[in-house]
Chains A and B, each alone.
Chain A
Amino acid sequence: MTGGAIGAGDVVRLAVPATTAYVGVARSLTAGIATRLDLDLDHVEDLRLAVSEACGVLLPDAAPGAMLDLVVHVTDAGLAIEMSTVTSGDPAPPGPDSFAWTVLSALTDGVVADRTDGRTSIRLDFATGADPVVPDGARGSTGP
């Protein structure tokens, strides 16, 4: 490998206005990192979809003028992506029986949603292991 490479321990942060106009930027950033981490193409596309879906959960409840914070942690296991924003009203974070959760857990290797101190956050885990088959841990029960 030439020059510096993306490696475990790296943290990438992006803060953009919490509006749909920036979903594409969030998608491109995460896909760019995943491609450079040599994830296979299915996983890169899944990741793109998952970031959109998480935005779809977070943005409608974002407080006016709020920022969407996206933090990508590169770990030994793969990627952990935390997305969060200040939410207005008192929206419940998506539960394991919601459609969004079904989608997110099909696309990732782990989903955690949380709401504390007026902030809603979603954490998505992606494994970069050699075997792209998704392990059973950390996900809701699934199909037949």
Chain B
Amino acid sequence: MTSGHDSDPRPALREHSHDLFVELVSLPEGDPRRQQIREALVELHAGLAHSIARRFSRRGQPDDDLAQVAMLGLLKSIDRFDPSRPVEFSSFATPTIRGEIRRHFRDTAWAVHVPRGLRELAVQIPPAVEQLTTELGRSPRPSEIADHLGADRHRVVEALEAADAFSAVPLDATTRDGRPTAETVGSVDEALERIDERLALRPLIEALDERERTILMLRFFEEKSQSQIAAQVGISQMHVSRLLSRTLSQLNEGLRAAESPAQPPPSPVRP
């Protein structure tokens, strides 16, 4: 039995791969032969993708998903590789495949922490909430979501908490149907009329972006529910909640800063 040489990556394979790449780049876009060559290259280098995927597999991600993501990275590498440059395909593809896996981990970070069954339930919840909100004219209770989905209420509670732990909604997500309707919001001055800190608050509120200001006004001065605001502004209720939370802490920070503009130097300790 001969022992394998790791440092010698099968010259025949390397040559075959090189020939395929040379042919691939010579063919015009849309040539049916291109697809055949790509498939041959994928088959040839699948081992590389798998070995990279395996290195990440202890992170709790199912190997199937990882292998698929790695193959996607491999495909990208094949399409971008230039055989005229003095670089081995494996050296070129490895960082691309790794990058693809890292991006996958980042995008699906919660998959690492949330058990699969709960995750499946969690993805059913937002459409259920949307439908029930329309039907009920208010946001649903966990029991109503559970009835609607035919799921156990306690599981729904857990799924809601899991979804909350994973703050997937980027705060700058675009609105569903254009711009918030600022005209419907009463003026800032009117709203602040009775508030003690109005002088400090006004510039802070004016500095908010239009959507944040609209949401703040609707919730605290016009007392619309988060679901009503979500419908009006065209984003999800969870998103409204996160924006409100951020806006409030911003305003409170600003107010505190305005309260104590310049801290007096600490007075010396008296004997």
Using a CB–CB cutoff of 8 Å, the interface residues on chain A facing chain B are 1-2, 31-32, 35-36, 38-43, 45-46, 48-49, 52-53, 56, 60, 95, 97-100, 102-103, 106, 132, 134, 141-144
Contacts and interface: CB of A to CB of B under 8 A. Distances in A.
Contacts of A60: 256
B83 interface: no
A53 B255 CA distance: 13
Interface in B159-177: 160-161, 164
B194 A97 contact: yes
B159 to A, nearest CB: 10
A41 B222 contact: no
Nearest to B146: A38
B35 interface: no
B141 to A, nearest CB: 5
B226 A99 contact: no
A106 B223 contact: yes
B142 A49 contact: no
A53 B195 CA distance: 16
B237 A42 contact: yes
B134 to A, nearest CB: 14
B251 interface: yes
A6 to B, nearest CB: 11
B137 to A, nearest CB: 10
A125 to B, nearest CB: 16
Contact of B223 (A41, A43, A142): A142
Contacts of A100: 252
A102 B222 CA distance: 11
A131 B71 CA distance: 53
